[in-house]
Chain A
Amino acid sequence: MKKEYDTFILTDIAEIYDGREKELILRDLTPGKYKYKQIRVRALVSNDVNKYSDILWIRSGMGVLSPEPMSINILKKSDSLLPQ
């Protein structure tokens, strides 16, 4: 089953689906008491929602939700929220 996450993009949104591995802070949107927990990951993102296994919603720095989601392939989850 596809997991859903969201992330806040503080720069140019096109930068995150340029095909290169990215370090992102995601929020886990799985229903339950851990919803919105933040995790730091290295991932690949595509603006093709069917390309990768999980869904990624994009929010602007002010919290505005983009109407269409992207897809994400999480390569590595970090134990820490701090930049590596």
Chain B
Amino acid sequence: MTDSEEDKKIMTMSVPQDNRQFIEDLKQYNQLVTIDQEVDWDLEMGAISRRACEKKSAAPFFQKVKDYPGWRVLGAPMATYERLAIGMGLDPSSSIAILQKEYLERTKKPAGKPLLIDQKNAPCKSNVISGKEINLFDLPAPMVHGGDGGRYLCTWHMLVTKSLDNRNYTNWGMYRQMIADERTLVGAIHPSSDLGRMLKQEYEPRNMPVPFATVIGPSPMEALAACSPTPIQEFEFAGQLMKSPVALTECETSDLLVPAQAEIIIEGKIMPNVGIEEGPFGEYTGYRSSLRAPRVTFRVSAISYRDNPILTMTNMGVPVDEGQLLRSFTLALEVRRLLESQNIPVTGVYMLPESTHHLMVVGTKVQYANIAKQIANLVFGGKSGQWFHILIVVDEDTDIYSKDEIIHALSTKCHPINGIRQYPNDIGTAHTPFSSPFERQWNIGHKVLFDCTWPPNWTENEKPIKICFANEAIYPKAIQEKVLNNWQRYGFKD
């Protein structure tokens, strides 16, 4: 398909403004399976969602959940590029390159100020529970994986908090949260995350509780913004992705603002310097690799939700699910922005979701020696660098979206001695499976660069010639055109 044919696929639909519209759009494109039979929240819902991810099936939409009459659950909402495209208001057959292009274009334009919706008109405030009535066990939280530390209520959501020192800064982040008891959630907050920094540097030294709002069932682009390592505030970023300002409403118990059309809002305070046992939990790496430990404690003071409420859930495990797909997608594009801001001649950046966002491919036009090392220094040293450890740099004749071509480049162009550079004792995460328990505990990571570019000092006679149909040095254009024009006549069906 040509670029102009691809471009026609853009803007075939409007961007879904809430989870309900998203569900309707998924249905329209056969990306939803509505399950009418009763399912058990204790492992069955998790098993169905997991299998749906592994088979790249449609998203399961559970209509009846055992013990929870009146509640519905949407699983695996954006575990495929097709559903990401629908969430962006694009044709589900859009290529990854088109999705990237659209993301980059939209996020160059201002979103406009958020719309403030009165609480009485906000769908997320249709039902409000407070005081003695609060009971997190009234929500159909799944036991996602056998052996997890508890029922993870919050897996497709965002946690909204505000800086203490800069009251104009609001953070949205997708940090897992588990039910401990009727009024207590516990969650894992990485110390180098935006919320982790706010806790450690602002609130905990002053022993001050942190008002929070957990937003479950946001619109797809609000969720994407919460996953993205964007340098701007996520509610603005979401507005850019949605191509319209987000609609927000006030919380019951704090001055935080939350998406007015979200499914469920849980409000309360993070207790400073208090840890209750949390985890373990099957994570985006495809493993359960960090131990149960005392972690961040959330005390709940209000719950509100839409009429006919829908809980949303993801199930992280072996690729590909939302955790890997969306983080890979957004990390690659933010890294691309970083490299372009430093005038690196980038032809493209792609992170394979199958790598559980650990492997990034950067395409570059080699203009000088050691450009791959320069790229590695920038990407590993930036904010996003802690989340991945493998960088493959290819030159412009490798299609970064093609696994076949990446493997070919890695196998044939990366010199085992000169082309591999290790970066020991760097920053990492608590989840990396190959890291030792000590390394995981202290977020110690190690990185590696695979330079798959031809050295710039090789002359044209020294560089190997790529043997492929599209290389005009092998098959002149006239021959290529003759073969393409006669392809079906030869008898080929593809």
Contact = CB atoms under 8 A, between A and B. Distances in A.
Nearest to B147: A63
Contacts of B372: none
Given A10-B292, A61-B280, A62-B280, A36 B151 contact: yes
Contacts of B67: 32-33
B181 A39 contact: yes
B455 to A, nearest CB: 45
A83 B92 CA distance: 51
B474 interface: no
Contacts of B148: 63
Contacts of A32: 67
Given A33-B67, A61-B291, A82-B274, A8 B137 contact: no
A36 B46 CA distance: 16
B291 A33 contact: no
Contact of B150 (A10, A27, A61, A65): A27
B276 interface: yes
B179 interface: yes
A34 B288 contact: no
A21 to B, nearest CB: 19
A64 B182 CA distance: 26
A60 B181 CA distance: 21
A38 interface: yes
Contact of B137 (A37, A39, A81): A37
Contact of B42 (A10, A25, A35, A39): A35
B143 interface: yes
A64 B180 CA distance: 19
A8 B289 CA distance: 15
Query: Interface on chain A toward B: helix, strand, loop, or mixed SS?
Result: loop
Contacts of A63: 146-149, 280, 288, 292
A25 B274 contact: no
B184 interface: yes
Contacts of A38: 150, 180-181, 276-277
A59 interface: yes
Size category of the binding interface on chain B = 20 to 34
B401 interface: no
B371 to A, nearest CB: 42
Nearest to B138: A33
B68 interface: yes
B13 interface: no
B293 interface: yes
A8 B184 CA distance: 19
Contacts of A35: 42, 143
Contacts of A8: 149, 277, 292
A36 B182 CA distance: 11
Contacts of B180: 37-38, 81
A25 B276 CA distance: 9
Nearest to A65: B147
Nearest to A63: B147
Q: Point out which of A35, A59, A63 has the most chain B C-beta atoms below 10 A from its C-beta.
A: A63
A37 B277 contact: no
Given A32-B67, A35-B42, A37-B137, A82 B291 contact: no
Contacts of A37: 137, 179-182
A81 B274 CA distance: 11
Contacts of B181: 37-39, 81
Interface in A66-84: 81-82
Contact of A36 (B143, B274, B289, B291): B143
Contacts of B292: 8, 10, 61-63
A81 B297 CA distance: 10
Q: Point out which of B67, B182, B292 has the most chain A C-beta atoms below 10 A from its C-beta.
A: B292
B433 to A, nearest CB: 11
Interface in B301-330: none
Interface string B208-237: 000000000000000000000000000000
Contacts of B274: 82
B137 A10 contact: no
Interface of B: 42, 67-68, 137-138, 143, 146-151, 179-182, 184, 274, 276-277, 280, 288-289, 291-293, 297
In order of increasing CB-CB distance, the 6 nearest A-B pairs are: A63-B147, A61-B291, A33-B67, A8-B292, A38-B180, A63-B280
10 contacts: A10-B292, A35-B42, A36-B143, A37-B137, A61-B293, A63-B147, A64-B147, A81-B181, A81-B276, A82-B274
